Amino acid sequence: MNTLSLITFIPLLGAIIVLFLPKDRVRAIQTTAIAAASVSFILSVALFFFFDRATPGMQFVEHADWIPSMGISYFLGVDGLSYPLLVLTTLMTLVGLIGSLGVKNRVKEYFFWFLLLDVGMLGVFEALDLVLFYVFWELCLVPMYFLIGIWGGPKKEYAAIKFFLYTLAGSVFMLLAILAVYFNSTPHTFDILALMKAHSAWSLRFQILVFLGFYLAFAIKVPAFPFHTWLPLAHVEAPTAVSVILAAVLLKMGVYGILRISYGMLPLAFHWFLPYLVVIAVVNIVYGSLCAMAQTDMKKMVAYSSVNHMGYCLLGIAGLSATGFSGAVFQMIAHGIITGALFLLVGVIYDRAHTRDIAAFGGLAAKVPVYGAFMFLLCFASLGLPGLAGFVGEFLCFLGAFARWKVYTAVAVLGVLATAAFFLRMLQKVFLGPLNAKWAELPDMTARELISIAPLAALSVIIGVWPGWVLNLMNATILHMTAFVKP
């Protein structure tokens, strides 16, 4: 059964149906979109029961010739590295769509682009052919451009074009790198699994060149310092649900690419790059959290906290150990859930108050206790409180990196402190203290908002208390990936 294809293309089917619906049938458009995303989500969760946790290799593989003359094939599959991300994508898309029900303007196009974006993201995590990977990768770009550029905030055009050009610039180098590995493999192939075995014939020099091509594309997506400045801008301008997807899934494509392609296909260059990667990771962590501390806009603060949190992933990867890799993957899941929920929460207050200025509020905890409780829970999850998802990812990343990079890791721990500082300061200014009389009529969360946020909050508790459910999925794959690594 072609489950993976179904998961990927049911949203496409939904998008096409949406295209054919009249644009004033808002209800039908929303229902179609959510139904498509739900089916995709349910199918991906159903795989949970069939996923073999002991197999390190690819599962649910689908292989068909696409352009045989050039060795391009339609090749999908998931393993312990990509399967958790697949579920994260379908889940966050569904949550994002529910969070988008409030969109009033050009509903039809919005849901069309949103579903198309979903197809691209799912494909990236499943594709095992570089051309297919590249197609899906680029497929994410255009919908995102329109979603930010049409439904965004005041500076939406600037943010959208910056996002688009920046990411495209990275993609161009990736395309070059893909062509380079194609022409240097015998027989010429785009098959990622085959290329993983081909690298022994490549010189270090060649690997480094190819690595840098891929790295540029991935680093811009992660985003790794100094390629991160599109992120705060895009987040601030993007509509809430798009921010959610951007933070929860799109950034993960970069980290996934580094693990799957840069590490898998170019191990020599990866080793060569490690000392730089760890520095970048520490800069992301410490510098990102310091930048977040300086923010007055809640959304921008959460955006910079993403820079900080993705730094943990990079640190785990730079550790080049089984623990670090599992930490990086776990952190991706945790960050996706937590930061996705935080963006939704920031959207909740913005919808009511039409401002995100931290200083504009005060004492809200007494007025909107449910909202306050969720915000506290998720901020604590994000700052790495043990018992919640963020801690496990963060701790495993640090643990995995420590054996190799003692001093860098110790410095990065300061970033954890700064993260706690800016989240607590925000909580204090917004929720504690005397109630700002301006918000005396602020209503608490609605049912729709609760439906999109409560499951994420629950998940952040569940996988924080019982991380085994996620770790078991990836352990076999990650042990296999790092089997030949020298400590």
Q: Which of 466, 275, 304 is nearest to 382 (CA)?
A: 304
The two three-digit tokens of residue 203, written as one number: 């010189």
The two three-digit tokens of residue 130, written as one number: 């570089």
Q: Is 413 in the site for other proteins (CB under 8 A)?
A: yes
Q: Is 421 in the site for other proteins (CB under 8 A)?
A: yes
Residues in region 295-354 near other proteins by CB under 8 A:
295, 321-323, 325-326
Work out the angle between the directed axes of helices 447-465 and 322-353 (0-180°, nearest 10).
160
The two three-digit tokens of residue 55, written as one number: 């197999």
Q: Which of 159, 416, 445, 459 binds other proteins (CB under 8 A)?
A: 416
Q: Which of 141, 168, 290, 454 binds other proteins (CB under 8 A)?
A: 290
Dihedral (C-alpha) 100, 5, 248, 446: value to the nearest 10 degrees?
A: 30
Closest distance of CB 126 from other proteins, Å = 23
Distance between CA 85 and CA 250 in Å, rounded?
11
Count CA atoms within 13 Å of residue 309 on its CB side: 33
Residues in region 451-480 near other proteins by CB under 8 A:
466-468, 471-472, 474-475, 478-479
Q: Which of 149, 363, 390, 393 binds other proteins (CB under 8 A)?
A: 363
Closest distance of CB 379 from other proteins, Å = 11
Cβ–Cβ < 8 Å for 292, 219 = no
Q: Is 270 in the site for other proteins (CB under 8 A)?
A: no
Cβ–Cβ < 8 Å for 88, 252 = yes
Q: Which residues contact 385 (CB under 8 A, 6 or more apart)?
A: 391
Q: Which of 359, 366, 370, 458 binds other proteins (CB under 8 A)?
A: 366
Q: How many residues does the chain have?
A: 487
Q: Is 410 in the site for other proteins (CB under 8 A)?
A: yes
Q: How many residues bind other proteins, per CB under 8 A?
A: 64
The two three-digit tokens of residue 310, written as one number: 């993705």
Q: Which of 42, 294, 370, 458 binds other proteins (CB under 8 A)?
A: 294
Q: Which residues bind other proteins (CB under 8 A)?
A: 162, 165-166, 225-226, 228-230, 233, 287, 290-291, 293-295, 321-323, 325-326, 363, 365-366, 380, 385-387, 391, 396, 398-399, 402-403, 406, 409-410, 413-414, 416-418, 420-421, 424-425, 428, 431-435, 466-468, 471-472, 474-475, 478-479, 482-483, 485, 487
